[in-house]
Chains A and B, each alone.
Chain A
Amino acid sequence: MSPDRAWLGRRLLLGVGQTAALVVLIFALTEALPGDAAVALAGDQPDPQRIALIRENLGLDRSAGERLLDWVGGLAHGDLGTSLVSGRPVADLLADGLGPTLVLAGVTATLLVPLSVGLGVLAARREGGPVDRTVSGLTAAVHAVPEFALGVLVITVFALRLGWVPPTAIGTGGDLWAHPDVLVLPVLVLLSRPVCTISRLVRAGMIDAMASPYAAHARRLGLTPTRVRWAHALPNALAPAGQQLARTCDWLLGGVIVVEALFVIPGLGTVLIDAVAARDIPVVQGLAVVFGVVTVVVNLGADLVTRRLAPRAEVAA
């Protein structure tokens, strides 16, 4: 459809703008942090002369605007810049961190959709019934447990007491595919909260959709309850859940800091934390670009889905 294409084009353009805005925002926030890379590098030897020298060597004595422009200039040639701290190209650092992150995020997302949609639909079958209450209660409870606490719990039980899986990813060198047993606990912890969020949204949406005149109409037309549920109600119920899913995908990319720390997985979250603490602005900027691009793409997908699903209400009219 051509209106769709125009919409898509506009959204992509917007996406570029958003990513640019994001990079500037992150740059401004990082600049606003107290201290700079020179101070962070000097650590507990904050000899003022030494800090000045480091600052000069790193080019931090130039103005913020100048440094940002420089970096943007490099970006135009596909150059993400060089880490202030290690002198390694930012692209290399990101590439190192991206592998484990993608594996972790991919596996989690793949399991997340069927699991949470299934749970949501199951709970919505009979609102207030025993299944619904069990699922709702369980999701409400698990959702309330912070990952670090859940992580400590599952490591203690499944790795240290029962010895079924390794407690950390140490020794894999970041190559998680080669050691699938290492993935079990991190993925379990990562799944815990999004499954709760999304299944609850699916449940609420399903109950609404099943009660809508549209579904009633479908039933009157003699469609089987199963068909009404899966083919007609579910798509409507997925609209809000789709947005949440998009959000979860963003989060899987950079927000899994806690899980990376607990299980010693050298992913992007770890790179991020280190870069912020060291005030390594080029690395933080490079990450902002990655996050921006991914978010734009994922949200675009979610909006596409919403556009496809929600208009059904019109069709029903």
Chain B
Amino acid sequence: MSRTTSPIPFGDRLPASRRVFLAAGGAGALALAAGCAAGGSADPGPHPGAGNEGTPRRGGRLRAAFPGGGANENLDPHQANLFVEVARAKALFDKLADYGADLAPVPRLAAGWEADQSLATWRVRLRRAAFHDGRPVTAEDVLYSFRRIADPKRAFRAKASLEPIDLAASRALDPATVEFRLKRPYAEFANTLAAFGAYIVPKDADAFERPVGSGPFTFGSFKPGSSLVLRRNDRYWEGAPHLDEVEFVVAAEESARTNALLGGQVEYAHELNPATARVHEGKGRITVVRLRNSAMQGFVMKTDRPPFDDPRVRQAFFLIADRRQLVDGALSGAGEVGNDLFGKGYRYYAAGLPQRTRDLTRARALLREAGAEALRVTLDTAPAATGFVEAAGIFKEQAAEAGVTIDVRIGNKDTYWKDILTGGTIASYRSGAMPIEAHVSQRLLTDSTTNASRWRVKDFDDLYQQIQSTSDETLRTALYERMQRRLHAEGGFLIWGFADWIVATANRVRGVSVTAPANTLDWARFDRVWLA
């Protein structure tokens, strides 16, 4: 089972800062293939960095401060849920693939993958890699890891992502090749290999007090809730990291992370407030890195009940939103406006659709047509993520200008996501980075497990299945556009913005990616980082 974050709202609304789920995660139940039926190349390509100037220097210890989960945390990579847990897991372990900056899967422990004609049987070739204890990473380890995640008695987060795989029928063809049998055609299957939490652990590993993985760092020492020290893995398959050691420290409070960085107690601070970034950006004391498109921000409308079962009311709400004002007010300007579509900047994103802007006249007309004049709705929100309550307050004011009365109801942050899954009519919503395919399969299909907009449309399900049965990339892109056109016109998600994730480092830290959204391969990737 995975754990959520803890806490209290501190600082910038504690809740928010601390808790930050990787909403991204969960990845797709079904996924999409890199180049479709033939997996990507093994070359990760050049590494865009904040300061790549100069030749990497070897040595030193980097201390990285993250908000975290307190004394309850453990190092089981399959239980990873918070950003700090994912960052630690990726330092110690590898996945078969991971997401590039556009959320397309990039090969990692897998050297490549290919499907048969049906797109329902996939062969994954493993590269030569070894665990920290010297044992090679084999097909058996992969199958063990996936079966552990999918264990029906347990509740690992990645379980839903692996659902399309028939693990009983999947097998090792040889030590370096796994054959996955799927329950249905799945052109974007490689998304599953990169799924949130789908780390490869050694066969039979079930205790992680002293974790053994294949990642770029080996275990040093661990004090739950406080610090984890890792050492360089000189035999890492992708080349040894530059750093001697990396230490993860946990600091829930945003100002504490900032102060520790300014005071020289850490060299890397994850998740800072936009205001903090504005204070220090360009002042030379620390380096601020903005990871664009890291979190989608919006409202979710329940399409199965009044008043939002009428598409005209949903369209009216799309037109009520002043997106720039929401980004400025709720995100302190640290983000971009959204167009009611998930995944801006990601692969298959329908960038060609016109940007929706505010139109109160049209919104009033639509409401009149729908017989919803003097509409009054309750908007559910909670300090469960940064900016939620602020956005609700701003949207309330905007709606009032269109004659819609919104009552903002502030719920409990710890149970928020469950409460809004089935209850209420409209609610604050956010999601971390994941492929568009994962967003669709987790949230927009009739049998999706977290279908918060209650979007259950038979021909939409069919369209998704058609995409996953299409091996031709161009064709698939066209189908995705058709799908998004529909969501843009009448979907249940009012997506008003995409938030930056803000990271800051000491000035001598080099090699931090500036393009990778939080939760993708190059994010929090300390094997590429070095100290000048």
Given the known interface contacts A35-B418, A261-B10, the answer about A171 and B249 at a Cβ–Cβ threshold of 8 Å is: yes
Q: Is A168 in contact with chain B by the CB < 8 A criterion? A: yes
User: Across the interface, do B72 and A280 meet the contact criterion of CB distance under 8 Å?
Assistant: yes
* Closest chain A residue, CB of each to CB of B249: A170
Within 8 A of A (CB), among B293-335: none
Segment with Cβ contacts to B, from A51-59, A65-73, A105-113, A235-243: A51-59
In angstroms, how far is the closest chain B Cβ from the Cβ of A277?
4
Q: Which chain A positions have C-beta within 8 A of B141?
A: none
Query: Which residues of B are found within 8 Å of A152, using beta-carbon distances?
Result: 255
B61-91 interface code vs A (CB 8 A; 1 in, 0 out)? 0010100011111100000010000000000
Taking a contact as CB atoms under 8 Å apart, the answer to whether B8 and A273 are in contact is: yes
Asked whether, in the complex, the Cβ of B155 is within 8 Å of the Cβ of A50, the reply is yes
A side interface size, CB within 8 A: 55
Give the chain B neighbours of A85 by CB distance below 8 A.
Answer: 3, 72
Complex: A155 Cα to B414 Cα, angstroms: 30
In Å, the complex CA distance between A263 and B225 comes to 14
Contact mask B1-34 → A, CB, 8 Å, 1/0? 1111111101000000000010101100000000
Q: Is B282 close to A, CB under 8 A?
A: no
List the one stretch of A1-9, A14-22, A40-48, A289-297 in contact with chain B: A40-48
- The distance from the CB of A116 to the nearest CB of chain B, in whole angstroms, is 28
- What string of 1s and 0s marks CB contacts (under 8 Å) between B467-492 and chain A? 00000000000000000000000000
A35 to chain B: closest residue by CB: B415
Interface centre among A39, A43, A163 (most CB of B within 10 A): A43
B421 at the interface (CB under 8 A from A): yes
In the complex, 21 of the A-B residue pairs with CB atoms within 8 angstroms, ordered by the A residue number, are A35-B418, A42-B4, A44-B450, A47-B160, A53-B153, A54-B1, A85-B3, A86-B72, A86-B73, A155-B255, A155-B259, A171-B249, A171-B265, A171-B266, A174-B226, A263-B256, A264-B260, A266-B225, A271-B71, A278-B4, A283-B72
Q: Determine the distance from Cα of A43 to Cα of B24 in the docked complex, in whole angstroms.
A: 12
Q: Least Cβ distance of B287 to chain A in Å?
A: 17
- Residues on the B chain within 8 Å of A283, using CB: 72
- Check A43 against B6 for contact (C-beta < 8 Å): no
Q: Considering the chains assembled together, what is the distance between the CA atoms of A254 and B449 in angstroms?
A: 39
CB–CB B81/A43 < 8 A: yes
Contact B253 A261 (CB under 8 A): yes
**Complex: A25 Cα to B4 Cα, angstroms:** 26
Q: Decide if A43 touches B263 in the complex (CB within 8 Å).
A: no
Within 8 A of A (CB), among B506-526: none
Residues of B within 8 A of A44 (CB): 4, 21, 23, 417, 450
Partner of A167 from B249, B263, B450 at Cβ < 8 Å? B263
With an 8 A cutoff between CB atoms, is B157 at the interface? yes
Q: Is A309 an interface residue (CB 8 A)?
A: no
Check A160 for interface membership: any CB of B closer than 8 A.
Answer: yes
Q: A279 at interface (Cβ–Cβ under 8 A)?
A: yes
Are A97 and B71 CB-contacts (below 8 A) given A42-B4, A277-B5?
A: yes
Q: Is the pair B256, A261 in contact by a Cβ cutoff of 8 Å?
A: yes
Q: Are B81 and A273 in contact (CB under 8 A)?
A: no
Cross-chain contact A41 with B72 (CB below 8 angstroms): no
Partner of A41, one of B1, B65, B265: B1
On chain B, the residues within 8 Å of A275 by CB distance are: 72
Q: Are B259 and A278 in contact (CB under 8 A)?
A: no
Q: Does A159 contact B (CB under 8 A)?
A: yes
Q: Quick one: which of A256-293 are within 8 Å of B by CB?
A: 257, 261-264, 266, 270-271, 273-275, 277-280, 283
Contacts of A173 in B (CB 8 A): 223, 226-227
